[in-house]
Structure 1
Amino acid sequence: MSAKGAVFLRETLHVDALDKDGKKFDRVSRISGRTKDSDLDVSIDVNTEIYPVKPGDDYSLALAHSLVAAGSSSGSSYASDPSQAWRDVGKGDRKTLADDYDYVMGGRVFKFEDAGKDRVSLLISYGGLLMSIEGPPRYFSGVSKGQTVYLMMRKA
């Protein structure tokens, strides 16, 4: 886990299952797994047409409030408004957090609740693709309902 900059979680996700409740859409699969170090249970809808995933594989996973890379020039158009970071991706030589990952989605927290036994559940919608992450509350301090959260993944 990392609290550095906009990133509030960095973990390695081990994918245990793909579409364990059956496949509902042609181009989307729901991956289910557990993080290696943080005791988090994760379920993510992934567009497998553009980013294929396999059960048994490990993926580096990061969650961030912004795509602004640490050390970005404060003069850049998105440094002052992190919610607009996606608009400048790929323009000029400005580096973003997305540059280090293969699959990136931006979404909003729509549910944040107590899951019992000293665990919380966070549900995020990425334009209809959903993510559920459950674990100890210490990993989600500073996260609230309605907040923007970027998901970034790459093969570990």
Structure 2
Amino acid sequence: MMRNLRQLFPPCLRCLAPGWPSALVLGHPWAPSQLPAQYCELYRAPLTLSCSVSRLHCESESFKMDLILDVNIQIYPVDLGDKFRLVIASTLYEDGTLDDGEYNPTDDRPSRADQFEYVMYGKVYRIEGDETSTEAATRLSAYVSYGGLLMRLQGDANNLHGFEVDSRVYLLMKKLAF
């Protein structure tokens, strides 16, 4: 049966069938409606692209750190060449008191968030060492998910020693004036 299917569908056409890739190449002369019924579509709808997230690729000027960060540009627009201050902290309270991650509008204690323009709360989900070295890792990468907006911070292990998998962290950003 599979050989007959391969003869029926040329290599440039992929269909939703066991043993075949699960995508349909657009622009093929055979429309999906001409496919046999057992290879029916899973989803079809007209879509409009509207981008609300940008992936930033940044370098630190002082600590030789590399940052890849997803930012909601509808909330916090950024442009190429912008400089910003970035802080990653385990709490927003300036006295170091840990919090539960819940926003409390009645809390009137001083907050680090008051000094920043963009704040996210997320979870460290992975920490990787540099596999190119046989010694102890000299560079680490910490990965954090802020509700689906992702971050990778990579640099010297001494600068990332406070990151632990499953810990909750805040990201705070503020653009700098030149």
Aligned-residue offset at 1:25: 6.3
Counterpart Cα distance in 2 of 1:111 and 1:43: 14
Contact kept? 1:101, 1:154, Cα under 8 Å: yes
Give 1:95's aligned amino acid: P
Task: Name stretches of at least 5 consecutive residues in structure 2 with no aligned partner.
Answer: 1-48
Q: Which residue is equivalent to 2:37?
A: none
1:99 and 2:114 correspond? yes
Task: Name stretches of at least 5 consecutive residues in structure 1 with no aligned partner.
Answer: 1-23, 72-78
Residues 112 and 37 (structure 1 numbering): CA distance in 2 closer, same or farther, change over 3 Å? same
Choose from 41, 55, 64 the match for 1:30: 55
Contact kept? 2:93, 2:109, Cα under 8 Å: no
Q: Percent identity?
A: 35
Choose from 127, 130, 147 the match for 1:127: 147
Contact kept? 2:101, 2:121, Cα under 8 Å: no
Aligned-residue offset at 1:86: 4.1
Aligned-residue offset at 1:115: 2.4
Counterpart Cα distance in 1 of 2:125 and 2:101: 21
Q: Which residue is equivalent to 1:62?
A: 87
Counterpart Cα distance in 1 of 2:168 and 2:50: 25
Aligned-residue offset at 1:133: 0.6
Runs of 4+ in 1 over 4 A off after TM superposition: none
1:112 and 2:127 correspond? yes
Pairwise mapping of residues 34-45 of structure 1 onto structure 2 (< 5 A)?
34-45=59-70
Contact kept? 1:83, 1:148, Cα under 8 Å: no
> How many corresponding residue pairs?
123
- The Cα offsets for residues 104-148 of structure 1, whole Å up to 9 and x where unpaired, read as 000000000102452100000000000001000111112210001
Give 2:122's aligned amino acid: G
Q: Which residue is equivalent to 2:157?
A: 137
Counterpart Cα distance in 1 of 2:124 and 2:107: 30
TM-score by length of 2: 0.64
Structure 1, 90-99 or 141-150: larger mean CA deviation: 90-99
Question: Quick one: higher RCO (CA 8 Å, sep 6+), 1 or 2?
Answer: 1
- The Cα offsets for residues 80-103 of structure 1, whole Å up to 9 and x where unpaired, read as xx2325423x42532111111000
Structure 2 counterpart SS, 1:84 = coil
Choose from 163, 169, 174 the match for 1:149: 169
Counterpart Cα distance in 2 of 1:103 and 1:44: 13
Higher strand residue share: 1
Counterpart Cα distance in 2 of 1:86 and 1:95: 16
Contact kept? 1:122, 1:134, Cα under 8 Å: yes
